[in-house]
């Protein structure tokens, strides 16, 4: 089958780089890449593990961080190291 395909510049550059590395005809490379992509996209989507973030109690805050200006002033003071 013959068809016209418009490629984005970045995709065309990657294909050309692969074509040179593997010493293939452009048609062969495009068909191989499309087959692999179609095979990957046809399968079931991979299930991702749930992201879990550990929490811990830091205790009572030493300063009120709700007021950004006050917090920055405290951090700029000589007592902060």
pLDDT of 8-32, one tens digit each? 999 999 999 999 999 999 999 999 9
- pLDDT above 80 for 62: no
Task: Yes or no: say if 26 and 12 are a contact pair by the CB < 8 Å rule.
Answer: no
In a domain, 65, yes or no: no
The answer to whether the Cα torsion of 29, 5, 7, 45 is positive or negative is negative
In a domain, 30, yes or no: yes
Percent of the chain with pLDDT over 70: 95
Domain that holds residue 29: 9-42
pLDDT in the model for residue 78: 65
In a domain, 76, yes or no: no
Cα(70)–Cα(72) distance, rounded to whole angstroms? Answer: 6
Task: Yes or no: say if 29 and 15 are a contact pair by the CB < 8 Å rule.
Answer: yes
Cα(10)–Cα(5) distance, rounded to whole angstroms? Answer: 14
Percent of the chain with pLDDT over 90: 51
- pLDDT above 90 for 37: yes
> Which residue in 58, 51, 16 sits closest to 33, CA to CA?
16
In a domain, 53, yes or no: no
- Looking at the structure of the chain, the number of domains it has is 1
């Amino acid at each position: 089958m013959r068809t016209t395909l418009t490629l984005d510049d970045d995709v065309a550059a990657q294909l050309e780089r692969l074509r040179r590395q593997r010493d293939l005809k452009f048609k062969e490379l495009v068909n191989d890449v499309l087959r692999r992509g179609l095979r990957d996209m046809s399968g079931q989507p991979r299930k991702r593990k749930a992201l879990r973030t550990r929490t811990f109690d830091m205790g009572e805050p030493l300063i009120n961080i709700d007021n950004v200006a006050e917090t920055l002033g405290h951090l700029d003071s000589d007592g902060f190291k």
